[in-house]
Amino acid sequence: IYGLQLLATPETTKFLLASLKDKSQGVRNSAAAGLKRVAAHLEPSQCIAIMNGIDRNTKISVLQASSAFDLALRRKLLRLGLKDKDVFVRETALFGNCQRGKESVLTAEDLASSLNSDKPNIRRAAAMAAGVLKDKDASATILKKLAVDKDFGVRLKVAMGLKNCSPKEAVTIAKMLLKDTGFAIRVSAIRSLGEIQAPEAIALVVDFAKDKHITVRYAAVHSLARQNAKELSEYLAAVYNEADYNEKMRLIPYLGRLPADEANKLLTKAIKSTHISYRSSVAHNLKGYPKDIAFACASLLIEDKSSKIRLPVAGFLAKHKDDKKVWRMLKKLETDSHTQISWIAKEAMKSRQSSQP
C-alpha cells in the first residue's frame, strides 16, 4: 500500500479503493491515508462507492484524508459523512469542514440536522463548522442559536467562531455570552472580538475589562491593545499589576501606551526585576515605545549584567545615533566587554561622525 501511494496512477487508485475493504484494519487505514496522494485521480462520482461497504474507522480515515481532495469531491464526501448513522463519522465530517488552511465547503443547510442533535459532541462540531461558513449571515444565525446551548463546549465553540460574523452580529452574540458563568467562554469571546476591527466590538470589549475574573480582564486588555483602542490606557496598568508572570510578559510591549510617568514606573520595575525575561522583553520592544520612554529604558538596560539584554539595546540605539541622549549611551557601550556590542557602538559612532559637517 505504501509503495503504491507513491506511484499515484489511475491503476493504483483503483487498488487503493479496493483495499478500503481489506480484512486487515491496518491495510484499510493505510489505503484511506493513501487517497491523499492519488486525489487527482478521484472523482465525485466515486464517493458513494468509496463510502459504501466500509467500516466506521475506515470512513473516518477517508474523511480525514479528504482535506487533500478538490472542493467538489470533498463536499460530496463530507455530505455523505453527515448522513451516516455513526455519530463519530458525522462528527468527523463536521470537523472536515473546518480544517486549518482549507476552504469551507458545507452550507448552513448541511449543518441543519446537526444543530438539534442529542449528542453534545455533534453540536460542538456543528458550531465549529458554522464558524467558518462562507455565508457570514448564515454563520451568525447558527451561532446565535447555539449561543444558548446547555452544553459548555458548544457555547465555547460559538465564542471562538464570532470572528466569522459581521461586527454587528458578533457583538449581538457576544452580549449573550457576556454573562456566561464559564470564564473560558468570556475569554474566547473577547479574543474573537479582538480580531474584529470595529468600534462596536471595542465598546463591548471595554465592558469585559471590568470582569470579575482576572483572566477575562487580561484578555480584554490584550484585545484592546490589538485594536489600538484609546480605552486601553484606562485598564492596562491595573490589569498589569495583578497579572501573573506569563500575562505580564505579553503586556510589556503595550506599556508604552500609558501616560509617560506611569509607563516609566512600570517599565523601570520590569527592568529592575530579577526575571531576565521581563528585562529582555523591554529590551526587544524599545522600538515600539515613544522615544522618551524608550531612551529612558535604554539608559537603564545598558547597565544590565547580561549581554543578552545589552545587545538588542545597542542595536536599537545605533538606529537613533543622531540623538544627543543616544550618543552618550553609545559612548559608554564602546567599551563594553562584549565584542559585538562594542563593535555596534563604535560603528554607529563612526557613522555619526562621518555624517557631521
Which superfamily does 1-96 belong to? Answer: Leucine-rich Repeat Variant (1.25.10.10)
Q: Report how far apart, in Å, the C-alpha atoms of 84 and of each of 55, 62, 201, 260 are.
A: 11, 13, 39, 62
Query: Which residue ranges in the chain fall short of pLDDT 70?
Result: 352-357
Residue 306's pLDDT is what? 94
pLDDT in tens, 287-311: 999 999 999 999 999 999 999 999 9
CA–CA distance, 191 with 235 (Å, rounded to integer): 16
Residue 33's pLDDT is what? 83
- The pTM (predicted TM-score) of the whole model is 0.75
Q: 73, 62, 60: which is closest to 33 by C-alpha?
A: 62
pLDDT in tens, 92-121: 999 998 887 788 889 999 999 999 999 999
Q: Contact at 8 Å (CB) between 256 and 293?
A: yes
Residue 268's pLDDT is what? 95
Domain extents in the chain? 1-96, 107-212
CA–CA distance, 260 with 237 (Å, rounded to integer): 12
Q: Report how far apart, in Å, the C-alpha atoms of 237 and of each of 29, 51, 133, 269, 287 are.
A: 54, 57, 38, 13, 20
Same fold, 1-96 and 107-212: yes
- Please state, rounded to an integer, the average pLDDT across all residues of the chain: 88
Q: Contact at 8 Å (CB) between 345 and 316?
A: no
Residue 71's pLDDT is what? 87
Compute the half-sphere exposure of residue 125: CA atoms within 13 Å on the CB side of its CA: 25
Residue 38's pLDDT is what? 80
pLDDT in tens, 243-269: 888 888 989 999 998 889 999 999 999
Residue 354's pLDDT is what? 59
- In the CATH hierarchy, which fold is given to the domain comprising 107-212? Leucine-rich Repeat Variant (1.25.10)
Q: 218, 228, 205, 220: which is closest to 248 by C-alpha?
A: 218
The position carrying cell 474507522 is 57
